[in-house]
Structure 1
Amino acid sequence: MPDDWTIAAAMLPFPSVLPDGTLVQDAPAERWHYSLSEVAALGFRHVDPTDSWLRVGDLTAARRKELHDVLAGLGLTMPAISTARRSVIDPAHGEENLAYCHRVLEAAPEFGATTVSVGLFQALTDRQREVLWFWTVPGASDPDDQDTWELAVARFRDLGRHAADLGLNLSLEMYEDTYLGTADSAVRLVTDIGLPNVGLNPDLGNLVRLQRPVEHWQSMLDKTLPYTNYWHVKNYYRSEDPASGIVLTHPAPMEFGVINYRSAIAQAIGLGYTGAFCAEHYGGDGLAVAARNRDYLQTLLVGSSA
């Protein structure tokens, strides 16, 4: 039933460093409770911790137990764990990131998570950190190099096999200027990996927000939805001036942005999608907008299931 469909809150709106300089990673469980209670207060029953807030894979067993207890006390479940900026082919940190992703997989079953989302996007550059919207400045990109492509395939296949051993799905998040940066490339990558538990996270918000020409969102969905096993959902306003070539974008609630999620969700359900969703939003009160997105998404799921 749509009311039972898993729609998790992303912890993107919450910083990883507290005002006193303490890392959330090292903060007492009471501080985790404070942030997660805000999520629960807005009616969420599920949460994706999003490792830009808390790295579950780097917690000790005792601290994982603390987190588990906090979640249980608030009536929250963790259906998935998303990693961010942990590219397994990062030239400097690829092997370290691969080991980290394996630790996330090992931790996931303790929380009842069934999916781990990974990607190829790298750390923000200094310039990206300086501007209002980081996606308006080019970041790191994957090289046009077959050996590096094969390395990505091999390392994701390694993670996929580990995930399968643990009864988990591995989802590859689409993101600009990576091997998951276009629909065609993302489908080719997941096909080359060739494991049934490895699919795509078609976070098209990461692409339609780019202030340059991009493939139409409908075309991207047509290609990627058959491979989708987890879905970060968010939307953006997008305005294009063909005469000047200027493209401007800005975060938007799901029902207002350029992606028509009413048709997107109906298409996904029609293709048999049964996975979880993760509601995201950048800027302003991101958590409140994510809750609005959840409510809107629930109406779409009711309509698609009627």
Structure 2
Amino acid sequence: MPLSATDWPICAALLQFPAVSRTGEVAQDAPAEAWERALTQVARAGFDRVELADGWVRVADLSPGRRAELGGAVRAAGLRVASVNIVRRSVIDAVRGAENLAHAHRTIDAAAELGASVVCASLHQPLTDDQRSRLWFWTGQGHVDPDDDTVRALAVERLRDLGRHAASVGLLLSLELYEDTYLGSSSSAVRLVTDIGLPSVGLNPDIGNLVRLHRPVEDWWEIGRATLPYANYWHVKNYARDEHAATGTVTALPAPLESGFVNYRELVELALSSGFQGMLCCEHYGGDGLSVSAANQAYLRRILPETGDYPLGTSLVTQPTWP
């Protein structure tokens, strides 16, 4: 049955929860009580689901006992694990690709154990020194996937392997759009997911990752039109963008969903017409991003259909069934 504004699954990302705190506490090694304190903030912000990510705690690298403690902390906070996000571990990294592939396989098993429905991955690689030196990392130049059919074929092969594993444990694999990779434009991303050719593998059309770049960018509507039919999970975030034609200067700063450059009211309507019924995940960089994400959730529930009685298009990938 189609989802409505009331029951549409919306989760919070944990971008404001670092791997190492300002006081030096390492989240990976923190006691379960510390995890619960962080997750309780997510619940108090109004979310009932959370995306766990490598940028906070690497679930793949926890012992079974510690993973059980994390699951207990999630439940104690009144949340459920919606998804697990593999961060900056490209399976075609020239040095660590095989290691990252093994990490992704362990993440899939851990995600299934924690009750997730989706594992999100991409082809982004660790931030460069240039990116780390910037106020906003996306204003620096990151890794660029090579224009090489052999490397691209390796991406297809390894992501297909992960998609089969995900399906075997009842999960979907979602591939996040990210600049300068084989997921860095709508056409390249669609080509990649269709070459993989599994119903369990879809796209995460994180359009914000592309429109924030300080250079000419693809039209956000065209990105959505091309990728949303293949979407099975969706990171939503927005940016204020300004372009000065005379100087070529571009500025992009994080903004709430309803007041940024991308019109999410139009995109959500487009998503529904494409058959999308996946999880929405609210992300926001800078400041009190959790509170902005909470406001974004409220905005999404205002623009989503009030009932499930609406025309629903045909998705080109499997859509999850949400508990």
TM-score with structure 1 setting the length = 0.98
- Which residue is equivalent to 1:263? 266
2:166 aligns with one of 163, 167, 179: 163
Give the Cα–Cα distance (whole angstroms) in 2 for the partners of residues 105 and 5 of structure 1.
24
CA contact (8 A) 1:265 1:304 kept: no
Per-residue deviation, 1:9: 0.4
- Which residue is equivalent to 1:242? 245
Q: Tell me, yes or no, if structure 1 residue 33 matches structure 2 residue 54.
A: no
RMSD value over aligned CA atoms?
Answer: 1.1
2:111 is matched by which residue type in structure 1? A
Q: Tell me, yes or no, if structure 1 residue 143 matches structure 2 residue 146.
A: yes
Alignment of 1:124-143 (within 5 A): 124-143=127-146
Write the deviation string for residues 28-61 of structure 1: whole angstroms up to 9, x where unpaired. 1111011111111111100001210111111111
TM-score with structure 2 setting the length = 0.93
Q: Unaligned regions of 5+ residues in structure 2, if any?
A: 310-323
Per-residue deviation, 1:23: 1.5
Write the deviation string for residues 194-235 of structure 1: whole angstroms up to 9, x where unpaired. 111100000010000001001100001110011000000000
CA contact (8 A) 2:202 2:232 kept: yes
Alignment of 1:202-281 (within 5 A): 202-281=205-284
Alignment of 1:1-306 (within 5 A): 1-302=4-305, 305=308
Same amino acid, percent of matched pairs: 55
CA contact (8 A) 1:269 1:304 kept: no
Per-residue deviation, 1:20: 3.6
2:52 is matched by which residue type in structure 1? P
Give the Cα–Cα distance (whole angstroms) in 2 for the partners of residues 223 and 303 of structure 1.
26
2:169 is matched by which residue type in structure 1? L
- Structure with the bigger percentage of helix: 1
Per-residue deviation, 1:262: 0.2
Q: In the comparison of the two structures, how many residue pairs are matched?
A: 306
| Partner SS state of residue 251, structure 1 | strand
Per-residue deviation, 1:73: 1.2
Give the Cα–Cα distance (whole angstroms) in 2 for the partners of residues 202 and 171 of structure 1.
9
Per-residue deviation, 1:304: 8.1
